[in-house]
Structure 1
Amino acid sequence: MQNKKVLLFLPKAFETMEFSAFIDVLGWARVDYKHAILVDTCGFTDKVISTFNVPVLVDKTIGEINVDDYDALAIPGGFGEFGYYEEAYHERFLKLIGEFDAEGKIIASVCSGAFPVAKSGVLKNRKATTYHLKDGYYQNKLKEFGVDVVNEPVVVDANIITSYCPETAPRVAFELLKMLTSEEEMNVIKTAMGF
């Protein structure tokens, strides 16, 4: 079985629950079901502080990343109030997203993680979603990037997965797993995890 590699990018102020869904789902696949799916965590700095001030030590920093080494990019959302967009909208990160898309690689984002994907330009005229509550405020903001916003929990448009709230994080992680393996394999792990 060929190794697959996922780059899990953590901008400052990412949400820990949205991050951990990817770690757990892909971890179960690797450890209990012998899928060769490796995950590298990455940030702008060696230690990234999440939305609720939990520090996470990452495997790599953005300057060390070569897109050719990865099959997918995963992006948890985060809170603007804690500075999420300072790094999520950084030119280097937006360029990285564009490089993943140019090679047709999977980009999986949760909730506000759709915003850097949209700002990079790769969601223009494509279907996507983001946080749906607060009278659709954030979905309307996403439309400003030329996105065809769909008010559904998880939206897949070719290689890009977006979702609309923290509750969807495991769904996005399972969708990513399905794209990396198969629907059958994904369902085995989903059942094993009690979903």
Structure 2
Amino acid sequence: MLRTIVLLALPGVAPFEFGVICEVFGVDRSDSGGPTFDFTIATADPGAVRTSLGFDMIIPSGLDVAASADLIAVPAHAMESVDERYLSVIRAAEARGAWVLSVCSGAFALAQAGILEGRKSTTHWMYAEKLAANFPGTVVDPDVLFIEDRHVVTSAGTAAGIDAALHIVRKELGAGAANVIARRMVVPPQRDGGQSQYIETPVKAECADSFAAIAEWMLANLSAELTVDQLARRALMSSRTFARRFRADMGTTPAAWLNRQRLIRAQQLLEESDDSLEQVARLSGFGTASVMRHHFVKMLQVSPQAYRRAFGLRLAS
């Protein structure tokens, strides 16, 4: 169970990435039905910690609070040699099976601790080549928002940290909990980790507007059979142009985006209703329980039945 969160404030910590972790895990949203975490910020030498923007933050807690944390989070920081005391905390967390999360250049601390060895990872695309060159034992993907590899989650720059943090909440506490946090933060409840870090070519405003309208229509019609040809006609484009511009604007293909939204809908139905698996599959647009199971196992590494046992009963209790 994800309860105790410790954020490591390293020297040169970036305020935005630091704030992302605080916002997801440090705000009490129990009044909205959201989860409550035991959240602590820790540093090696309690007191003033200089940020990347030149001002100090006063951090009263030392690293001893991290000994039994369920999640250790490392936001962006100065990439030079990291104090061994932080590295020991990161290694200990990985060794006991806790979650370890990095945002942006926070991946360099994880790499220096040795826990990215033999794992896939990512970081901000500007630093990806440096991470790969300095730590050849990790396979660095510069074109994704985040990667999870055996409870170690590395994410790209700035807002990608929100996606990575919500991914962990969703894995541990279910889609409903993640959606409450996302709704309060006014961010999308789920962006696929494999989505591109940046949009290749900005599209004209009228195209962006049309994709927003198409996306809204797709969400309202998840149970229908939606093809690229059908969507392209609604957008008044050729199928080829629609597919190309959708990926440029949304960061992923129409099919991948649609499957992700159907998965979210199925998760919500499994958590909040007692509909049969066939009913859930039909309402979410997967059609049959067997097709839905395929997507659950592929994307979540768990069957719909196991997901409902883990999260449906928890909400009911």
How many angstroms apart in 2 are the aligned matches of 1:98 and 1:43? 16
How many angstroms apart in 2 are the aligned matches of 1:26 and 1:120? 24
What is the aligned partner in structure 2 of residue 126 from structure 1? 119
Select 1:98's aligned residue among 65, 82, 91: 91
The letter of the residue matching 2:155 is S
How many angstroms apart in 2 are the aligned matches of 1:176 and 1:109? 12
Q: For the Cα contact (< 8 Å) 1:132–1:138, is it kept in 2?
A: no
* Change over 3 Å in CA distance of 1:167–1:36 after alignment to 2: closer
What is the aligned partner in structure 2 of residue 149 from structure 1? 140
Q: For the Cα contact (< 8 Å) 1:41–1:60, is it kept in 2?
A: yes
* Change over 3 Å in CA distance of 1:8–1:174 after alignment to 2: same
Deviates more, 1:167-176 or 1:117-126: 167-176
Note if 1:164 corresponds to 2:156: yes
Matches within 5 A, 1:18-167: 18-28=17-27, 30-32=29-31, 33-45=33-45, 46-62=47-63, 64-68=64-68, 70-80=69-79, 85-86=80-81, 89-133=82-126, 136-141=128-133, 144-151=135-142, 152-167=144-159
The letter of the residue matching 1:37 is F
Q: Secondary structure at the match of 1:109?
A: strand
Q: For the Cα contact (< 8 Å) 1:17–1:169, is it kept in 2?
A: no
User: How well do the aligned residues superpose, as a CA RMSD in angstroms?
Assistant: 2.1
Deviates more, 1:162-171 or 1:151-160: 162-171
How many angstroms apart in 1 are the aligned matches of 2:133 and 2:148? 19
TM-score computed with the length of structure 1 as normaliser: 0.84
Q: For the Cα contact (< 8 Å) 1:10–1:41, is it kept in 2?
A: yes
Percent identical residues: 22
What is the aligned partner in structure 1 of residue 7 from structure 2? 8
Displacement of 1:66? 4.9
Query: Size of the alignment, in residue pairs?
Result: 184
How many angstroms apart in 1 are the aligned matches of 2:185 and 2:66? 32
How many angstroms apart in 2 are the aligned matches of 1:60 and 1:28? 18
Which has the greater radius of gyration?
Answer: 2
Q: For the Cα contact (< 8 Å) 1:114–1:130, is it kept in 2?
A: yes
How many angstroms apart in 2 are the aligned matches of 1:3 and 1:178? 10
Structure 1 or 2: more helix by fraction: 2
How many angstroms apart in 1 are the aligned matches of 2:162 and 2:50? 21
* Change over 3 Å in CA distance of 1:24–1:66 after alignment to 2: closer
TM-score computed with the length of structure 2 as normaliser: 0.53
How many angstroms apart in 2 are the aligned matches of 1:140 and 1:125? 12
- Deviation track 1:157-177 (CA, whole Å, cap 9, x = no partner) reads 121110121231222222232
How many angstroms apart in 1 are the aligned matches of 2:74 and 2:27? 19
Q: For the Cα contact (< 8 Å) 2:34–2:180, is it kept in 1?
A: no
Q: For the Cα contact (< 8 Å) 1:26–1:177, is it kept in 2?
A: no
Note if 1:176 corresponds to 2:168: yes
What is the aligned partner in structure 2 of residue 193 from structure 1? 185
Deviates more, 1:25-34 or 1:40-49: 25-34
Bigger relative contact order, structure 1 or 2, given CA contacts below 8 A and separation 6+?
1
Displacement of 1:140? 2.7
Unaligned runs of 5+ in 2: 188-317
